[in-house]
Amino acid sequence: MHRFLSAPVAVCHSIEATRLIEATAMADLPPRALMQRAGQSLARFALAVAPHARTIWIACGPGNNGGDGMEAAIHLRRLHPNVVVTWFGDMRQLPSEAKQALEAAMEAGVTFAIQPPDSLRPGDLCIDALLGIGANRAPKGKMNEWLQLMRSAPSDLISVDVPSGLDAESGVLLPNMGFGETTMMAGILLPGALPDITRSVKHPQQRRYTLTFLSGKPGLLTGEGIDLAGEIWLDPLGAETWVRAVQPEWTVNRSKPKRVVDHHAHKGARGDVVIVGGAGDAQKDHSMAGACTLAGAAALHGGAGRVYMHLLDARAPRNNPLQPELMYRSIRDLDLQKVTAVCGCGGGDAVGTLIPDLFTDCKQLVLDADALNVVATDAALRTLLQYRAQMGWQTVMTPHPLEAARLLGRKDAAEVQANRLQAVRELVDVFECVVVLKGSGTLIAGPGMPCHINVTGNSRLATAGTGDVLAGFIGALMAQGMPAFEAACAAVRRHGEVADEWPTATQLTALDVAHRL
């Protein structure tokens, strides 16, 4: 058993692949052995997480995930005076191994209760063994009540394999979560179908863990999975050989920026970046020049030798006393074959007039924000992107979920969020370039590349301008010679790391991120 993200290589398998690993491993073992290993591992983990728990509540569900919980109860009962199991299921429909585990738990004298323990205090432990990778719909009724109770308690929480109700592949809570017959308000269970107010209520004292079995699951690292899963631990249950035999679909992003520049290098050797964007509207007295400044600052701090700014807003000043290194220049005066262009930051519709030239002249291109919106509405640009790919020119797109929805012709961001992993793959297939799908658990994918899930960063990056900073940083790394996919992975990782390292009591702005790269 090890902390998933501290392993030198952390990979995730699809659910289908996990099922294959499970079946192959089980075929090699006596019946129930794998589940017993899972139970033993869970019991050990529980005691390590909450050694002083007054109460350990194990909520078991109708499938093998519940079986894992029962197996753990058998061990914990011997080691702890107050272990309570609540079970949600039907004996006749239990899978055979879970049934054996239930019978063994009864025989061993495990305490079964109809209701969860009365009061759960800080330091107590809840174990969610309700649903694992077999969840296929939103938990309802009693199961949902128990989940809400566990997730809002001040006690610690271990999710077995996967937080129940989470799609282990997409990181989305199965629909209707929270619309059960009862719901919770201020810690009290209320009857009636109330809106989903409980979804993200986490008690500040609660520490969350997921002990996942056999293989990493992508849904724990993206979308809603990150908050629900907490700290992830992995126990391959002795099936490492089988895990290694199955090709993983996703890899945890570990890339770090490598900015090795020769000692004798001059500024021209470090790569040139031009930021194209910053549109304005004189009638409305609007200007988006700041977005360009942020991308430009990121390109400078990201190591580019020279950073040029092509501002679309004719009224915006052509100098910035706070960042005097930025040089204001039209793209017409630059050799576009030799610069990396970062296009779109605050570009408005006006950026559309420059995009065809950038697409045909510029060998290295990062497309963000409004540039993506222009591409979404112009099929000819899609063809140009394919042409770029054939030429071996490098393009990176950095959509957030709404931009991704526009690019894919989907109704809204929610449709993308419903399966982020699939969306990023589709974007790569359609546009034939490297795609960074931003959000909780940013995804990076490229033609012929494994999909990377990024695990650095936090919600402090959800402020205006951080996307511009990321685009500028990717551009800077490409300008210094990093291939597009590597540059995207390294930039996303470092960008998130800055937010993770930033002192919690201090506000983090986009410019702060740029200065820390």
Ligand X SMILES: NC(=O)C1=CN([C@@H]2O[C@H](COP(=O)(O)OP(=O)(O)OC[C@H]3O[C@@H](n4cnc5c(N)ncnc54)[C@H](OP(=O)(O)O)[C@@H]3O)[C@@H](O)[C@H]2O)[C@H](O)CC1
Question: Which residues of the chain form contacts with ligand X (CB under 6 A)?
Answer: 22, 26, 34-35, 38, 61-66, 68, 95, 97, 131-139, 143, 160-162, 213-214
- β strands within 153-285, DSSP E: 156-160, 182-185, 188-191, 208-213, 231-235, 250-252, 272-277, 280-281
d(CA 251, CA 472): 24
Q: Is 13 helix (H, G, I), strand (E, B) or coil?
A: coil
Q: For ligand X, which residue has the nearest CB?
A: 132
454 binds, among ligand X, K ion, none (CB under 5 to 8 A by kind): none
β-bridge partners, 451: 250
Q: How far is the CB of 165 from K ion (least distance, A)?
A: 8
Q: Say which DSSP state 334 is in.
A: S
Closer residue to K ion in complex, CB, 159/480: 159
Closer residue to ligand X in complex, CB, 161/370: 161
136 in a known ligand binding site: yes
Token pair belonging to 496: 């998130």
Distance, C-alpha 54 to centroid of its chain: 34
275 in a known ligand binding site: no
Closer residue to ligand X in complex, CB, 34/343: 34
144 in a known ligand binding site: no
Q: Is 240 helix (H, G, I), strand (E, B) or coil?
A: helix
Q: How far is the CB of 69 from ligand X (least distance, A)?
A: 9
Token pair belonging to 18: 């996990």
Closer residue to ligand X in complex, CB, 36/442: 36
Phi, psi at 87, each rounded to 5°? -125, 135
139 binds, among ligand X, K ion, none (CB under 5 to 8 A by kind): ligand X
β-bridge partners, 394: 364
Question: How open is the CA angle 505-508-509, to the nearest 5 degrees?
Answer: 155
128 binds, among K ion, ligand X, none (CB under 5 to 8 A by kind): K ion
Q: Is 307 helix (H, G, I), strand (E, B) or coil?
A: strand
d(CA 143, CA 87): 9
34 binds, among ligand X, K ion, none (CB under 5 to 8 A by kind): ligand X
Q: How far is the CB of 87 from ligand X (least distance, A)?
A: 12
Closer residue to K ion in complex, CB, 128/145: 128
137 in a known ligand binding site: yes
Closer residue to K ion in complex, CB, 159/170: 159
Per-position b or e across 336-353, b if 16+ CB within 10 A of its CB: beebbbbbbbbbbebbbe
Contacts to K ion by CB under 5 A: 128, 159-160, 164
Q: How far is the CB of 481 from ligand X (least distance, A)?
A: 44
Q: Give the residue numbers of the binding site.
A: 64-68, 128, 132-138, 161, 164, 291, 346, 400, 438-442, 467-468
Q: Give the residue numbers of the binding site for AMP.
A: 438-442, 467
